Structure formats: C-alpha cells, structure tokens
Amino acid sequence: MKVRTVKQLVVLALILAPLGLGAQEFSSPVLAAGQFRVELSALFYFTDERFGRRVEDGSIIKEVEPLEFDFVDTAVGSRLFPAFEDLEADLTTAAGTAITPVVLGGTRAVLTRDVVWLPLRLDLGLRDWLTVGTTVPFSRRRAEFATSIQTDGADVGLPPGGAGTFLGEVFSANEALGGVVTTLCTADPSSPACSQATSLLAAGVGYHESLTRAYGDYGVFPLEGSGTGDALQSNTTSLVNAYQGVGVSFPATIPLATEVLTEATYLDLVSNPVYRVKGDSLQTWRSPWELGDVEIHANARLWSIGLDTAPDEPQPNLRLELGAGALYRLGSSRIGSPRNFLDTGSGDGQNDFELSGFGTLGVGRRLSMVGEFRYGIQQSILVLKRVTAPDRIFAPASAEQVVRWNPGDYMQVRVSPRFGLTEEIGLVLDLRYFTKKRDQYTSVEAGMGLDPGVLNLETAQESFGIGGGVVYSTIPSGRGWPIEARFLFQGAVSGNGGTTPKTWRAEFGVRFLWGLWE
C-alpha cells in the first residue's frame, strides 16, 4: 500500500474516531519522524469560589458564591441534614401534634480546594505527519475546611443523659399495659374497655419507638423550654393520665436537652457512625498521591505551508499548520467517596473519547498563534452516590445507592497568541472557553431505590479563562539541545452552572527531544 494511501486512511480514522482531553500545546503537537519527546509538567489549581446558580423567590440568581456556600445556613436544619426530616416525623409522633422544624443554630464556614497535578507525557513521531503518545497523570488534592456554630435561636441540643432510663420505664409501662389489654380483650373482645386499652397501647408503643430513634439516631433532641419540648411534655402528661386510668404507672417527666451544640459536637453529627450521616470527618484533608486517568493520543498534520525550512535558512513570512487529533482516556482514576464531603477524587474513573482539531500560525519572526478545538464524548459508569440535591450536603448513609452515571459531553476552544521577544523567548496570551453538558444519572434497576434524577442538578458547566505566561524554546533557532519550557498563569473570569469552580491555575512544563532515527 502506498504511503499516501496509508496517510489518507489514518487521517480518516482520526476524523471519525470519538475522542477525550489532552495536554495543552504551545507548539506543534506533531513531531518529525523518529523524534521522541518527554514532557514533565507541574500544574497547581486553587479555588475558593464558584459560579453559582440558584432559585430565590421564583427568580434564578447567577453570581459568584464562596465555595462553602452550601455548608452555611442561618438556621441549620433538614436542608443541611436531610435525615432531620425523619427526626421531625418521630417528634411529631411522640408529641402527638405538629411541631416546628428543627433548628440547630447558625453556621459559618470556610472551604478552599487545591490540587497539584504531575502529568508525564511521552510522544513519538512515527511519520513527519503522524505522532502518537501517552500521558500518565498523578495528583494530590487538599481541602481546607473550618466551621463554627452559633446557637442563638436553636431549639435542639445534645440528647440528655437520662434518656435510657426513661425509655426503659416507658417500655415497662407498655409491657404492663399489654397485660391489661390481654385481660380485657379476653373477657370481652368487643367491649369499649378493650378497644380503648388497645388504642392506648398502640399510642404508647409509637411513643416509645419514635423516642428511641429520636434520642439515639440523630445526635440532637429538643431543648427544655422550646416549643417542641413543651409539646413532648404535654403529650407525656396526657399518657401519664391515660395509663393511670387503667392502673398502670407511667414516667411523668420526659428528659429534654439542656446543652446546646458546640463546634465539636456539631462536627460529630457528620462523622459519628452512631448517627444517620456516617460521613468522614469534616477537617482539613489531604489525599495521597494518586493516579489520574491515563490518556493515549495521536495527532496528524493534515496540511501545512512554510514548515520545511531549516532553522539556519531564511524563514518564510507565513507558516501555517492544520491537523486533527484523537485521544482515548482510560478510567484509571479514583472517584470521590460519597462519605467524603470535601474530596472530588483523582478523576472521573470512566473512559472518554475525544476529537480535536489544531492549528499553528506564524507571521514573520515574532508573531505566532496556537489554536485548538476539542470535543469529548464521555462514557457511562456505575458509581456509588448519595442520592440528594446538591445543596443538601449531609445526606444520610441510607441514601447511598449504585447508579449509572453518564457525564455530559464537553467542548473546549483555546486560542493562544504569542509574541517572540527573541528567537528563544516569547510572551503568551491564553484564552480558553469550556462548556460541558448536563450529567445524567439513572437507576440500575428501574423502580428500585431512590430516583437519582436529582443528581443531575447543577452538573452542567461553562467557564471562560484568561491567562498569560512565558515560553522558551531552542527549536526555532536550532541552537543547543532541543528543549521547550513554559510558565503560565490563568484564571476563570466568568462562568455558569451552579457548582462550576472559579479556578486559578499555575502551570510549568518542560519538554526534551531526542532523535531516535532519521
């Protein structure tokens, strides 16, 4: 088969193959045949804000929010701790009447995230127009978190110490009432006395069961003097009178909380395995070094002019290169744990395909530009998630289920003009636009478990970043060892999506080239 035919087939495969994200180019991604390139990079990402999107009073609010926005509330209750809805239901049963929503107090928080990426990239020129390679990334992530609680307005506090004794007395009263019910209903099953005693026993059992959960499962209980505490005591007094009416004693005073939460006991609501959340500790956290998603890529030059001149010969005023690329990203990373409310994992853990197009333009000896377009098609994967809305942070462990996650496809457009100060040193302006479609979560088995559709919320992303830096390269001059180095600083200046991070990035990279064959 002729070389031209092989080239046409490879280019056609690159255009048709579905593809994923690769390293950022500051020169042509295509090497000469026989050239081997090693790239070492260090990338530092930092964020303490996000491009928020929320609904208030029926209106959509889009603004930059602090990263800890969802961890903060002036009246902490079932929004932050969805399991408190069950607590409120148990307290309603125990009080025999509707109660006001649980309030722990108000919280403040500070959250920042940073990531260090160390990708190793290898490229080999198979033909003058075709280069293949791989990228192996490693990351280390850190989340710095601090919170405090102000208990003004709280109506719950720490569960009282005498709860166990009280529940034991209620249980004994129900046992005694059960004997009375047996006696009355054996004598005359249709008598009013049998019916009334049976109803009272059902109320007493419900009272005991709901209070057993309320005292032990949530880490908080109504305070003395609160509206809910008064309602509980009122119903307890009613039960005392009713039980005494059939000759059974019942504890007269329900133990209520007397101590409000502290910062330590508030954090304990999240990490104590006795309670419903069963999460990891909410503290400043650092991951070990972990493998990210390994990439395999290929880039082909489709058309060029003015690139065949040797470095020591006069350079044409116009140099142009157009090409296409293909990338396959392996799901070799670790996905974030549903127990860790601060970590995002070392990657998506699923396979991606990416299609890309690139171009380099040189005008004279000083001006050049690199541009690229990337479109990624992300594949689905089974993941363990806590099924909850994004702002309901501390969902209970009972909300965990395996769901199918199909991340939204993404697109990135990048334009990077460069002005050469000398033959080796240039200043770079870097402009990037990134957008990702909404993720889709579906049940593994239809009709089983919670509806994971709520996980789709705020998963679409859009951001625009501006940056600049310095590039050094000995390749244009042909003098010395062929090496490229770059330093770039970039920040996201606008965005949308709800949870899209407003990220600042510093990047340093160096490339070494060797000729393996001519």
Parallel/antiparallel/unpaired status of strands 285-286 and 290-291 = unpaired
Residue that wins the pLDDT comparison between 449 and 169: 169
CB of 4 closer than 8 Å to CB of 126: no
Residue that wins the pLDDT comparison between 158 and 55: 158
Q: Tell me the mean pLDDT in the region 38-50.
A: 97
DSSP string, 428-449: EEEEEEEEEPPPEEEESSTTSS
Strand partners, 56: 59
Domain range list for the chain: 3-151+274-515, 156-259
Q: Tell me the mean pLDDT in the region 258-275.
A: 96
Q: What per-residue confidence (pLDDT) applies to 362?
A: 87
Q: Tell me the mean pLDDT in the region 413-420.
A: 94
Confidence of residue 16 (pLDDT cuts 50, 70, 90): very low
DSSP state, residue 277: -
Q: What per-residue confidence (pLDDT) applies to 124?
A: 98
3-state SS assignment for residue 385: strand
Helix (H) or strand (E) holding 94: helix 84-95
Q: Tell me the mean pLDDT in the region 65-85.
A: 96
How far apart, in Å, do the first and last CA atoms of the chain sit? Answer: 22
Q: What per-residue confidence (pLDDT) applies to 18?
A: 30
Q: What per-residue confidence (pLDDT) applies to 11?
A: 33
Average pLDDT, the chain: 91
Spatial CA neighbour of 97 closest among 205, 275, 228? 228
Confidence of residue 162 (pLDDT cuts 50, 70, 90): very high
Lowest mean pLDDT among 55-64, 271-280, 302-311, 483-492: 302-311
What token pair was written down for 219?
Answer: 């880490």
Give the Cα separation of 42 and 156 in Å (integer): 49
Q: What per-residue confidence (pLDDT) applies to 313?
A: 65
Q: What per-residue confidence (pLDDT) applies to 311?
A: 58
Q: Could you count the other beta carbons within 10 Å of the beta carbon of residue 187? A: 10
Which backbone phi and psi does 173 adopt, to 5 degrees?
-60, -40
Q: What per-residue confidence (pLDDT) applies to 242?
A: 96
pLDDT above 90: percentage of residues in the chain: 80
Confidence of residue 479 (pLDDT cuts 50, 70, 90): confident
Give the Cα separation of 516 and 71 in Å (integer): 55
Residue 440 predicted with pLDDT over 70: yes
Confidence of residue 27 (pLDDT cuts 50, 70, 90): low
Q: The whole model's pTM is what?
A: 0.85
CATH of the domain spanning 3-151+274-515, picked from 3.30.160.270, 1.10.357.10, 3.40.470.10, 2.40.160.40: 2.40.160.40
Q: Tell me the mean pLDDT in the region 451-460.
A: 94
Give the Cα separation of 128 and 372 in Å (integer): 20
Residue type, 130: L
**Which residues, 6+ apart, have CB-to-CB distance to 55 below 8 Å?**
61
Beta strands in 151-256 (DSSP E): 156-157, 221-222
Residue 150 predicted with pLDDT over 80: yes
CB of 259 closer than 8 Å to CB of 151: no
- 474-482, long-range: CB within 8 Å, 24+ apart, which pairs? 474/424, 475/27, 475/311, 475/513, 476/311, 476/423, 476/424, 477/311, 477/423, 477/424, 478/310, 478/311, 478/312, 479/311, 481/512, 482/512, 482/513
Confidence of residue 364 (pLDDT cuts 50, 70, 90): confident
**Which tens digits make up the pLDDT trace of 322-362?**
999 999 999 999 998 999 999 888 888 999 999 999 999 98
Residue that wins the pLDDT comparison between 393 and 477: 393
Q: What per-residue confidence (pLDDT) applies to 15?
A: 29
Residue 477 predicted with pLDDT over 80: no
